[in-house]
Structure 1
Amino acid sequence: MLDNCLLLTICSGAVKLSRKRMHALHKGRAAVEEAMLPGKQSEPKSFLSLSQFLLTSGQVGQCAIQKHSKISYVEVEILDAHTKKQICVLEKILPSFTIADVKHKFHKACPQWYPSRVGLQLECSGPLLKESKVIKTLAVSSIITLYFRDLGTQISWTTVFLTEYTGPLLIYLLFYFRLPNLYDMEDINHCSRHPVVHLACACHSLHYIKQILETLFVHSFSNGNTALKKMLQGCAFYWGFTTWMAYYINHPLYTPPSFGNRQIVPAMFCFLVCGAGNYFTNCVLVQVHKTSTKTHFVRPTYNPFTWLFKLVSCPNYTYEMGVWISFTVMTQTLPVAVFALMVSLQLIIWAQRKHCKYQKDLKNYPSYRTAMIPFIL
């Protein structure tokens, strides 16, 4: 009972104190309003209250201006990576800017270097900075030094792949239809084509048509450009080997595989299965990259062609290698075998690189997965 009385006394005291403070506040406001009236300007107390009000409001406004003006900028000095001479200094760069924003600023300062051609590095011999890199993660002081490297003429990845894949499709068809001056006319008149020649043309054309359609409607490229010289190298590789393969397979003196249909039919079936597997795994990879975060790795789906994800990190490369090995067995020609070997070596390098990246970046990545060939590689 005594505790309750004490609590009531404290509460009533607090209420009275708050009422006094409210009354004083209203009184102060009234004094200011009276000071602003023409008839009350002669009173000293009112004038003092008005002066204090004006001084206080001025201080608040000044603090707001100072707080608003505290924006820290960064200066970015661009040096040539080869000569180490200064190209320009970019001023008023916000710490939240990305390397892509810096490239656009650099393009405005030096219009001859458009953003996709500009490569920026922290060190002369260091790696290129990604366009998503934020400036504040690089800033040690208010001035940042970056080194410029000319990446050369840039072309979109879509254009690169369409050029690389359209060439082999057309070149092979030129040899298949045996345009004039490609072969000796006497050999053409005296020799008939084996059915495997027609089958090889159908499989080869189907493969590259699939690649073209995937480039247009399936694949998405995060890095939109590449150097022109890389496209020329890719075209020389694919176009040159296709010319070599097509010349031998469509030659009038071409001899069919040693075991006939017992060798051709299983190889053709394997070719079609690997082509389908390559398509479905590419679709899964594109879908995962669009929807999931970087902390998740690709898992198999209900589609049997994707079950290879349980064992390897890059089943699309496994199927791609299977396509060309099957084509080699089906045609039994040296040029196809050499091309399959070259493609397989390149795919193994890419697969191992991606596999190591997955193991480094993704938590709880399955340890039993290999890069490309189950349990082996």
Structure 2
Amino acid sequence: MLTKSKAYESKQHSELKSFYTLSQFVLCAGQFHSPPALRHSKIPYYEVEILDAKTKKQICVVDKVHPSSTLLDIKHRFHKACPEWYPSRVGLRQERSTCLDGLYLHDSILIQNLAVSSIITLYFTDLGQQVSWTTVFLTEYSGPLIIYLLFYARLASIYDTEESNENIRHPVVHLACFCHCLHYAKCLLETLFVHKLSGGHTPLKNMLKGCTFYWGFTSWIAYYINHPRYTPPSFENRQVILSFFTFLICEAGNHFINVSLVHQSSPGNRICFPYPTYNPFTWLSILVSCPNYTYEVGSWISFTVMTQTVPVGIFTLLMAIQMSLWAKKKHTLYLKTCNTNMQSKSALIPFIL
């Protein structure tokens, strides 16, 4: 009887042990309840407060701005709230300033790079009436082309008809018209098909200044060269032919440099350095940082020698001064962002400037 009781207890213990083992196996296999829901990460939206740079009064608040938004996106939303200020007319700074020095934040800046907290304060300045760079260049270059042809036609409203009929034009007058029109026609075509303009804008007053300069000087130059009393250069044909071919070489060089700069440019790189290619006209870039400006000045010097007139000489001098300032500025920029090869180059004139 006792033996049966012990056998029964042993069997019960064995079954409990098996149940315990099975339970442990089930528990190790995984949980029966559903896993907790994943928490979605919260995007830190920003709030952009736009104040007037002069009065510090609040003009607009742009809320729920995504971190990947650019400053141009803010300008578009600002334009929706204030339709009288379109994006190209809006200048924004992080610090309050009342002087129009052009140091405004670039449109491509990300909002998250400006954020110190969830609220970003920007100061607004009205930049005035704006025009695109393409419009500026087309307007500045088309004017001289048309104006010069009007003087070349010797309109009765400009010159005396009898005097115009009596005096036969010297061949240099026709060559000068060809060269002048060729230069500005090239500038127009390059603006449309060669240059990659950034799509930026500039104040309307800058375009008016440029038009006044180019159109005014063209009128002065064309009036003297096409005048019935115009006298040919001192050395006549020799001087004219030599300067004419020099003009053509400089115009070709300027064009090929502009084309090479476009082909050498890469996406995302705003600074393009002039490098020599298989084209001999680009070899000048071995000596100077801005060969396109060098060729431009050379064209106008050749035109001055060919026509031998004071207005062209004054225009060439002013152009040379402006080109030298631009060349020095670019040369300095190249030295900061380029390799040491730029150290051996000049800015505009080889070994001199």
Category of TM-score, reference length = shorter chain: 0.7 to 0.9
Distance 1:220 1:294, change over 3 A: closer
Counterpart of 1:111?
A: 83
Counterpart of 2:168?
A: 192
Match of 1:163 among 133, 139, 150: 139
Alignment check: 8 A CA contact 2:334 2:342 kept: no
Counterpart of 2:3?
A: none
Counterpart of 1:47?
A: none
Distance (whole Å) between structure 2 residues aligned to residue 320 and residue 112 of structure 1: 41
Aligned length: 329
Counterpart of 1:16?
A: none
Distance (whole Å) between structure 2 residues aligned to residue 294 and residue 170 of structure 1: 34
Distance (whole Å) between structure 2 residues aligned to residue 122 and residue 363 of structure 1: 33
Counterpart of 1:87?
A: 59
Counterpart of 2:26?
A: 24
Tell me the amino acid that sits aligned with residue 65 of structure 2.
I
Distance (whole Å) between structure 2 residues aligned to residue 131 and residue 204 of structure 1: 38
Distance 1:255 1:296, change over 3 A: closer
Distance (whole Å) between structure 1 residues aligned to residue 127 and residue 272 of structure 2: 33
| TM-superposed deviation, 1:135 | 1.8
Alignment check: 8 A CA contact 1:297 1:365 kept: no
| TM-superposed deviation, 1:318 | 0.7
User: What are the Cα deviations for residues 12-60 of structure 1, in whole angstroms up to 9, with x where unaligned?
Assistant: xxxxxxxx9994357656xx4xxxxxxxxxxxxxxxxxxxx25xx3xx2
Distance (whole Å) between structure 2 residues aligned to residue 368 and residue 152 of structure 1: 43
Match of 1:208 among 153, 164, 184: 184
Counterpart of 1:100?
A: 72
Counterpart of 1:173?
A: 149
User: What are the Cα deviations for residues 297-350 of structure 1, in whole angstroms up to 9, with x where unaligned?
Assistant: 332101011111111111111111111111000000000011111111111111
Match of 1:350 among 307, 326, 346: 326
Alignment check: 8 A CA contact 2:144 2:184 kept: yes
| Identity among equivalent pairs (%) | 60
- SS for the counterpart of 2:231 is coil
Counterpart of 2:106?
A: 130
Counterpart of 1:297?
A: 273
The yes-or-no answer on 1:75 pairing with 2:47 is yes
- What's the TM-score once normalised by structure 1's chain length? 0.82
Tell me the amino acid that sits aligned with residue 301 of structure 1.
T
Counterpart of 1:269?
A: 245
Distance 1:91 1:331, change over 3 A: same
Distance (whole Å) between structure 2 residues aligned to residue 285 and residue 342 of structure 1: 25
Distance 1:28 1:92, change over 3 A: closer
Distance 1:257 1:143, change over 3 A: same
Match of 2:117 among 138, 141, 146: 141
Alignment check: 8 A CA contact 1:264 1:331 kept: yes
Distance (whole Å) between structure 1 residues aligned to residue 171 and residue 55 of structure 2: 62
- SS for the counterpart of 2:343 is coil
Alignment check: 8 A CA contact 1:169 1:208 kept: yes
Distance (whole Å) between structure 2 residues aligned to residue 101 and residue 22 of structure 1: 60
Distance 1:311 1:185, change over 3 A: same
Distance (whole Å) between structure 1 residues aligned to residue 213 and residue 269 of structure 2: 35
Counterpart of 1:260?
A: 236
| TM-superposed deviation, 1:189 | 2.7
User: What are the Cα deviations for residues 101-131 of structure 1, in whole angstroms up to 9, with x where unaligned?
Assistant: 1111211221221111111112233711111
Distance (whole Å) between structure 1 residues aligned to residue 164 and residue 271 of structure 2: 59
- SS for the counterpart of 1:366 is helix
Indicate the RMSD between aligned Cα atoms, in angstroms: 2.2
Distance (whole Å) between structure 2 residues aligned to residue 97 and residue 214 of structure 1: 34
Distance 1:280 1:291, change over 3 A: farther
Match of 2:221 among 218, 237, 245: 245
Counterpart of 2:261?
A: 285
| TM-superposed deviation, 1:253 | 0.4
Alignment check: 8 A CA contact 2:287 2:345 kept: yes
Match of 2:92 among 102, 120, 135: 120
- SS for the counterpart of 2:222 is helix
The yes-or-no answer on 1:312 pairing with 2:314 is no
Distance (whole Å) between structure 1 residues aligned to residue 85 and residue 144 of structure 2: 34
- What's the TM-score once normalised by structure 2's chain length? 0.87
Point out where structure 2 has 5 or more consecutive residues left out of the alignment: 1-21
The yes-or-no answer on 1:336 pairing with 2:338 is no
| TM-superposed deviation, 1:95 | 2.3
Tell me the amino acid that sits aligned with residue 232 of structure 1.
L
Distance (whole Å) between structure 2 residues aligned to residue 268 and residue 124 of structure 1: 54
Distance (whole Å) between structure 2 residues aligned to residue 27 and residue 272 of structure 1: 87
Distance (whole Å) between structure 2 residues aligned to residue 365 and residue 91 of structure 1: 49
Alignment check: 8 A CA contact 1:294 1:362 kept: no
